[in-house]
Amino acid sequence: MKVVAKTANEAMAEAMRQINPDVVAAYPITPSTEIVQLFSQFVADGLVDTEFVPVESEHSAASACTGAAAAGARVMTATASQGLALMNEVLFVTPALRLPIVICVINRTLSAPINIHCDHSDTMDQRDTGWMQFYAENSQEAYDLVIQAMKIAEEAFLPAMVSADAFILSHSLERIEILEDKEVQNFIGEHKTPFSVLDTEHPITVGALDLQDYYFEHKRAAAQAMREARKEIKKVFKDFGQKFERNYDFVEEYKMGDAERALVLMGSTAGTAKEVVDNLREEGEKVGIVKVCTFRPWPVEEVNHALKGADFVAVMDRAEGMTGFGAPLFTEVRSSLYDEDKNPDVYGYVYGLGGRDVTPDDIKKVFDDLKKAESGEKLERNSYLGVRE
Amino acid sequence: MAKKKESWKELPIGAIIDEPGSSRKFKTGDWREGKKPVVDKDKCTNCLICWVDCPDSAIIVKDGEMKGFNLDYCKGCAICASQCPVKAIEMVDEEVE
């Protein structure tokens, strides 16, 4: 174990170097992020054995990655924002073919208007593709999750994206602990692949036409893979915790024990929110945080368990969702709680779009709102935090 | 007799096809609507232009002679009839069973 100062970009690139994938196909300029640039330097310096394919667009990057994985390679890439959006068509193909690729995503907003800063619009846009999604709170988590996601993907035969907030994490230096190269290699183990098109002893067809009589069954099977991925995620998180003493779970409960009011959120804002909770706890307020680390597969049991004791809950989305009702995380959380005997009152807050800062005062305002609701005041079901009215 | 179709639990992972050449089992002749080709062997010169042009490889040829049509795969496109230089192929109404 080594202690170093790294940005999330550097931390994720370092994890990629240690994983040493067979193929990285990427479009390494704007709107991508520094991860691919850093990784291409590792390739140029001979530090990895990777075949680096600098393609002409992210659509081609996702296509080349999917093809390489079908051929039996261990494959990774990185992108952000519009780049991830351009991959969209191909991102549906990878999980349907059950190919275990990992994408490092730096969460940036989508146009229009043009903006390169942080929100979760890009990955939320991909939530129905069938990729597993993990969200990091800091650079340490970004590093650890990339390594764990590679193993989870190859155990579950599903692709995974690991997300870290743009600039707040991607360009900020943090103290992180990195593993030895050998430890990473031993942890991820031998590359596993569901099939290989290069196995001439057992010729197969991949991506064939599939009409009314079989398409539905194949989709049903892929949906089951997402449900069953829970088991592999649990196992890999546990194994990582036992080996390296850094523990991950589908959700992280922070001071939720006796919490009556809680925030549910993802990504770097959890760090700010924990500070606010610490301060409010000192004043005797029973408040807590539920940080969602695994967004796909959606951890319904863990979210409901975490919110069991809460009476008033605010779900904070760093993406609009454009539903005309509530943003993505809000609708998931509220729908999950519907089957519980006791439902807390759940409110949605959209915040931080296009890199708008979220301060401790903003977070405190949400807790204050929940207190008002507790005392009988009527709140908007869905509202915006930090926008000029 | 068509075989029983598999449940989603029985299919190979990743929607792959693990049996080479299985597309033969897909009888695309079902798609033919209305007319099928017939050949007048008195006119046919066995030039095999129909065999070259058929997009479904549905012309049956044996020992260099054109022997007719494989209606399991003929989609009734009529390219053979239009390309035959001696007008030996005609599209006729299909018998309704």
d(CA A357, CA A368): 19
Residue A160, classed as helix, strand or coil, is strand
At residue B1, does pLDDT exceed 50? no
Question: Which 3 state secondary structure label does DSSP give A303?
Answer: helix
- Which residue in A379, A341, A119 sits closest to A261, CA to CA? A379
CA-derived radius of gyration, chain A = 21
Q: How far apart are alpha carbons A197 and A67 in whole angstroms?
A: 9
Residues in CB range of A388: below 8 A, 6 or more apart: none
Per-residue pLDDT tens for B9-53? 999 999 999 998 888 888 999 999 889 999 999 999 999 999 999
pLDDT exceeds cutoff 70 at A282: yes
Q: Return the CATH fold of B28-92.
A: Alpha-Beta Plaits (3.30.70)
**Measured between beta carbons, which residues in chain A are less than 8 angstroms from residue B6?**
217
Kindly give the interhelix angle for A8-19 and A34-44, rounded to the nearest 10 degrees. Answer: 40
What CATH number has the domain spanning A2-244?
Answer: 3.40.50.970
Indicate the domain borders of chain B. 28-92
Residue B2 has a pLDDT of: 54
Can you tell me the distance from the alpha carbon of A36 to that of A24, in angstroms, rounded to the nearest whole number? 9
Q: Which residues of B touch A212 (CB under 8 A)?
A: none
Q: What is the pLDDT of residue B96?
A: 63
Kindly list the distances between the CA atom of residue A117 and the CA atoms of A114, A319, A358, in Å, as whole numbers in the listed order: 10, 12, 13
Q: Which of A125, A143, A356, A165 is nearest to A240 (CA)?
A: A143
C-alpha separations of A16 from A41, A166, A212, A363 in Å: 12, 18, 40, 34
**CA-angle at A85, arms to A79 and A88, nearest 5°:** 105
CB A32 within 8 A of CB A57: no
CB pairs under 8 A between A and B: 51
Residue of B7, B14, B20 with shortest CB distance to A217? B7
Our CA-based measurement puts residue A197 at a distance from the nearest CA of chain B, in whole angstroms, of 10
**Residue A379, pLDDT above cutoff 70:** yes
Give A 240-299 residues with CB within 8 A of chain B. Answer: none
C-alpha triplet A277, A282, A283: angle, nearest 5°: 95
Task: Compute the distance between CA of residue A316 and CA of residue A362 in angstroms, rounded to an integer.
Answer: 11
Is some CB atom of chain B closer than 8 A to the CB atom of A199? Answer: no
pLDDT at A31 over 80: no
Amino acid at A25: A
- Location of each CATH 3.40.50.920 domain in chain A: 251-385
Q: What is the pLDDT of residue A284?
A: 97
Average pLDDT of span A149-175: 98
Residue A375: predicted pLDDT: 97
Nearest CA to A252 out of A221, A296, A294 is that of: A294
How far away is chain A from the Cα of B11, in angstroms, using its nearest Cα? Answer: 7
User: Whole-angstrom Cα distance, residue A25 to residue A58?
Assistant: 9
Tokens of B60: 């049956």
Q: Residue B6: exposed, middle, or buried by beta-carbon count in 10 A (0-12, 13-18, 19+)?
A: exposed
Q: Across the interface, do A195 and B14 touch by the CB < 8 Å criterion?
A: yes
Q: What is the pLDDT of residue B97?
A: 56
The amino acid that residue A214 corresponds to is: Y
Q: Which two tokens stand for residue A172?
A: 């900020």
Residues on chain B bordering chain A, Cβ-to-Cβ distance under 8 angstroms: 5-9, 11-18, 20
Give A76-107 pLDDT, tens digit per residue. Answer: 999 999 999 999 999 999 999 999 999 999 99
The vertex-A166 CA angle with A235 and A151, nearest 5°, equals: 20
Taking an 8 Å cut-off on Cβ atoms, the answer to whether A217 and B14 are in contact is: no
Q: Can you tell me whether residue A273 is helix, strand or coil?
A: helix
Higher pLDDT residue, B24 or A184?
A: A184
State which residue of chain A sits closest to B12, comparing Cα positions: A218
Is a pLDDT exceeding 90 seen at residue B83? Answer: yes
Structure tokens at A272: 């700010």
Question: To the nearest whole percent, how much of chain A has pLDDT over 70?
Answer: 100
Sort out which chain B residues have CB atoms less than 8 A from A101's CB and list them. none
Which member of B6, B14, B18 has the closest CB to residue A97?
Answer: B14
**Residue-wise burial string across A233-244, b where 16 or more C-beta atoms lie within 10 A, e elsewhere:** bbebbeebeeeb
Closest residue of chain B to A215, computed from CA coordinates: B15
Kindly list the distances between the CA atom of residue A236 and the CA atoms of A188, A298, A377, in Å, as whole numbers in the listed order: 9, 17, 45
Average pLDDT for A151-168: 98
Which H or E element spans position B94? Answer: none
Domain span(s) for CATH 3.40.50.970 in chain A: 2-244
**What integer pLDDT is reported at residue A382 of this predicted model?**
97
* Per-residue pLDDT at B50: 98
Whether pLDDT at A201 is above 60: yes
CA–chain centroid gap for A306, Å, is 19
Q: What is the pTM of this model?
A: 0.92
Q: What is the CATH number of domain A251-385?
A: 3.40.50.920
A320-334 pLDDT per residue, tens: 999 999 999 999 999
Instruction: Report chain A's mean pLDDT, rounded to a whole number.
Output: 97
Asked which of A76-80, A132-136, A192-196 is least confident by mean pLDDT, the reply is A192-196
Cα–Cα distance for residue pair A147/A242, rounded to 1 Å:
15
- ipTM of the shown complex: 0.88
B71: closest CA of chain A, how far (Å) = 22
Q: What are the helix and strand counts (H, E) for chain A?
A: 13, 15
Q: Which of B5, B9, B13 sits opposite A195 (nearest CB)?
A: B13
Q: Which two tokens stand for residue B43?
A: 């006119």
Q: Tens digit of pLDDT for each residue in A334-373?
A: 999 999 999 999 999 999 999 999 999 999 999 999 999 9
- Kindly state the percentage of chain A with pLDDT values over 90: 96
| Structure tokens that stand for A339 in this block | 């089957």
Out of A97, A98, A220, the one facing B8 most closely (by C-beta) is A220
B-chain residues within 8 Å CB-CB of A224?
A: 8
β-pairing, B59-62 with B65-69? antiparallel
**Cis, bond preceding A112 (omega within 30 deg of 0):** yes
Sign of the torsion formed by the C-alpha atoms of A193, A197, A201 and A202: positive
Cis-peptide into A297, omega within 30 deg? yes
Query: Does residue A312 register a pLDDT over 70?
Result: yes
User: Token digits for A337?
Assistant: 């709680």
